């Protein structure tokens, strides 16, 4: 018989069939079981956790989420603007120097070109991009500390991929600051190697883009969709690889007798 869902659920409650019957009924009808959200036992920690972790819990939490999104966007814009030729300072990243060998003293010496002024720690600390970056890092670090202190489980906190991204996104700032100070004090030949490592570390800042997914349900759903479809995506890449091998082999053997062919091998 076609019984309306509301009436059927009311009958389950009326006859006191229990929560198991209600859960089975909801499962059979395709209802998604609501996940229980773990909350801290302390009232202060609970309020802080809801304030920084669940923007929909209150207007204040929504305002903090808006501020966090604004800071993330500012940080990404600064990261991109630093690469423009008008603002880029290559001396601070990888200074150009020439190494000479002194035959009389039998030693090497590093000489900077006359038209290049080395970047000092004073100019780094007064750089507008550095000041904006510092302000963004202060907010990220404050937000991370509050959520870590107020979280209901420290183990689950570090198992959350979003929290790991938050930690990775602020580590390059402190590493860069320490290495900037070290390279300004170091005049040996190891300076260039340190600055090359520094350039790679700065690349990690691009992971701040993923911080936006914390405040976007659409990006979270997309991430869960990709995670659930990894096997299908792997199968797709496998068939794509087979297609590349087949067609590249066909083109290579078709052009094998041509003297001026551009396909000298299958990888080409």
What pLDDT, on a 0 to 100 scale, did the predictor assign at position 145? 93
4 shares its domain with 64: no
78 shares its domain with 200: yes
Q: Specify whether the CB–CB gap between 204 and 171 falls below 8 A.
A: yes
Q: What is the CATH number of the domain that holds 267?
A: 1.10.287.70
Residue 95 to residue 112: CA distance in whole angstroms = 8
* pTM score, whole prediction: 0.66
Gyration radius from the chain CA atoms: 29
**Count of CB atoms situated within 10 Å of the CB of 184:** 17
What pLDDT, on a 0 to 100 scale, did the predictor assign at position 190? 53
Q: Domain limits at 121? A: 43-212
**Residue ranges in the chain whose pLDDT is less than 50:** 91-102, 107-117, 189
Comparing C-alpha atoms, which of 78, 95, 97, 96 is closest to residue 87? Answer: 78
Query: In the numeric block, which tokens belong to residue 122?
Result: 């004073």
255 shares its domain with 145: no
What pLDDT, on a 0 to 100 scale, did the predictor assign at position 194? 60
What pLDDT, on a 0 to 100 scale, did the predictor assign at position 89? 58
232 shares its domain with 189: no
Distances (CA, A) of 59 to 72, 158, 216: 20, 27, 17
What pLDDT, on a 0 to 100 scale, did the predictor assign at position 104? 54
261 shares its domain with 150: no
What pLDDT, on a 0 to 100 scale, did the predictor assign at position 91? 46
186 shares its domain with 128: yes
């Amino acid at each position: 018989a076609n019984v309306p869902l509301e009436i059927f659920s009311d009958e389950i409650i009326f006859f006191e069939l229990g929560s198991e019957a209600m859960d089975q009924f909801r499962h059979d009808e395709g209802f998604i079981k609501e996940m229980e959200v773990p909350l801290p036992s302390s009232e202060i920690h609970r309020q802080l956790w809801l304030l920084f972790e669940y923007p929909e819990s209150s207007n204040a939490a929504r305002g903090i989420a808006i501020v966090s999104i604004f800071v993330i966007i500012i940080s990404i814009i600064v990261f991109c603007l630093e690469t423009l030729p008008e603002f880029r300072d290559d001396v601070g990243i990888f200074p150009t120097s020439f190494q000479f060998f002194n035959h009389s003293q039998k030693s090497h010496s590093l000489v900077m070109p006359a038209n290049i002024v080395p970047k000092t720690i004073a100019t780094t600390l007064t750089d507008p991009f550095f000041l904006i970056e510092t302000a963004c890092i202060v907010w990220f670090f404050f937000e991370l500390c509050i959520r870590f202190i107020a979280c209901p489980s420290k183990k689950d906190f570090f198992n959350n991929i979003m929290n790991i991204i938050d930690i990775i996104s602020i580590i390059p700032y402190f590493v860069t600051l320490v290495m900037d100070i070290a390279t300004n004090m170091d005049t040996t030949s190891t300076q260039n190697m340190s600055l090359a490592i520094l350039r790679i570390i700065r690349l990690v800042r691009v992971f701040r883009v993923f911080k936006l997914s914390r405040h976007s349900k659409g990006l979270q759903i997309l991430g869960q969709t990709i995670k659930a479809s990894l096997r299908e995506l792997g199968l797709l890449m496998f068939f794509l690889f087979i297609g590349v091998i087949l067609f590249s082999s066909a083109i290579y053997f078709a052009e094998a007798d041509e003297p001026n062919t551009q396909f000298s091998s299958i990888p080409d």
